[in-house]
Amino acid sequence: MANTTSTMRNRNEEKPAGYSYGEEQDKPQAEVTVGNVAEKARDAAANVSDKVKEAAASAVHKAGDVASNVGHKAEEATAAVGGGMRSLAGTIRESAPQGGMAGAVSSNVAGSLESGGRYLQEHGLRGIGEDLTNLIRRNPLPALFLGIGLGFMIARATRRD
């Protein structure tokens, strides 16, 4: 017991002048250290959370850029297909017979290819989508039956025996 009082006296004597006993000073060193560690852990978690948010925002931005580039490439490809169709129409007109039944058929095919190619060049995929949407809105039941029929045919074609 004598050691305990001398230890207490030594602790009191080692404290600097103006030292007061408050809640913070009375806490054992382990509690203060745990509090510091917990605060550092919260800071680290906040930093990690910020980094994850930044990475997610960057990924979303890059995905948007990629989607935009894909859309532009698809529009360019559609315009190129339209140009190819118009070119093929010109080739058919030049090399096909001018008279008779074969001439009439080749002229009709060339005219269809040319008008389809012009449509693709002018409107692109966006125009096709808008026209298809309008067609379905004007004719909902035939569009529904057509969808069911196409689904049935695709299911039959892909069914394994």
Structure tokens at 61: 């931005």
Structure tokens at 19: 């030292």
Q: Quick: pLDDT tens for 96-149.
A: 888 888 888 988 999 999 999 999 888 888 888 999 999 999 999 999 999 999
Is residue 7 in a domain? Answer: no
Q: Quick: pLDDT tens for 36-71.
A: 777 888 888 888 888 888 888 888 888 888 888 888
The residue type at 131? D
Q: For residues 147 and 72, which has the higher predicted lDDT (pLDDT)? A: 147
Flag whether the pTM goes above 0.85. Answer: no
Is residue 20 in a domain? Answer: no
Structure tokens at 153: 């045919």
What's the burial of 161, exposed, middle or buried (CB within 10 Å: 0-12/13-18/19+)? exposed
Is residue 44 in a domain? Answer: no
Residues spanned by the domain of 81: 52-156
Is residue 74 in a domain? Answer: yes
Is residue 11 in a domain? Answer: no
Tell me the C-alpha distance between 24 and 6, whole Å: 24
The rounded radius of gyration (Å) of the Cα atoms in the chain is 40
Tell me the C-alpha distance between 78 and 123, whole Å: 9
Contact 78, 67 (CB under 8 A): no
- The domain tally of the chain equals 1
Is residue 129 in a domain? Answer: yes
Q: Quick: pLDDT tens for 144-153.
A: 999 999 999 9
The predicted model gives 81-101 an average pLDDT of 88
DSSP letter, residue 161: -
Is residue 24 in a domain? Answer: no
